[in-house]
């Protein structure tokens, strides 16, 4: 695990550089209402970079909670299949 700087700090390593290097496999970025301009910019850049690099992105708190619960419950039971396997007739 690595400690990352805020993007707006301009220091490395930061989450944007890690996403570009393929070191981040999923982003959970929940926007909050009380934020500074700097936080708003960092949130936007994180979401935009995730989208640009096809990294799964969760921006809804309830969805994030459900995702984490399901990973905890099904972590060792889940079988990874292609999407086609679920829709074969």
**Full pLDDT tens readout for the chain, 89 residues:** 789 999 999 999 999 999 999 999 999 999 887 778 888 889 999 999 999 999 999 999 999 999 998 888 877 676 777 778 777 65
Domain ranges of the chain: 7-86
Domain 7-86: state its class.
alpha beta
* pLDDT score for 47: 95
* pLDDT score for 54: 95
The whole-model pTM stands at 0.76
Q: What is the DSSP letter of 5?
A: B
Q: Which two tokens stand for residue 35?
A: 């934020």
Q: Exposed, middle or buried by CB within 10 Å (0-12, 13-18, 19+), for 15?
A: buried
Cα 88 vs. chain centroid, distance in angstroms? 30
Of the candidates 41, 39, 43, 72, the one whose C-alpha atom is nearest the C-alpha of residue 59 is 43
Residue 58 has phi, psi (to 5 degrees) of -115, 125
If you search the block for the tokens 């970079």, which residue do you land on? 49
């Amino acid at each position: 695990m690595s400690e990352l700087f805020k993007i707006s700090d301009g220091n490395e390593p930061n989450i944007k550089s890690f996403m570009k290097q393929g070191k981040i496999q999923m982003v959970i970025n929940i926007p909050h209402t009380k934020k500074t301009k700097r936080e708003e910019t960092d949130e936007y850049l994180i979401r935009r970079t995730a989208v640009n690099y096809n990294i799964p992105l969760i921006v809804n708190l309830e969805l994030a909670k459900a995702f984490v619960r399901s990973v905890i419950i099904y972590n060792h039971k889940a079988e990874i299949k292609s999407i086609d396997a679920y829709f074969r007739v």
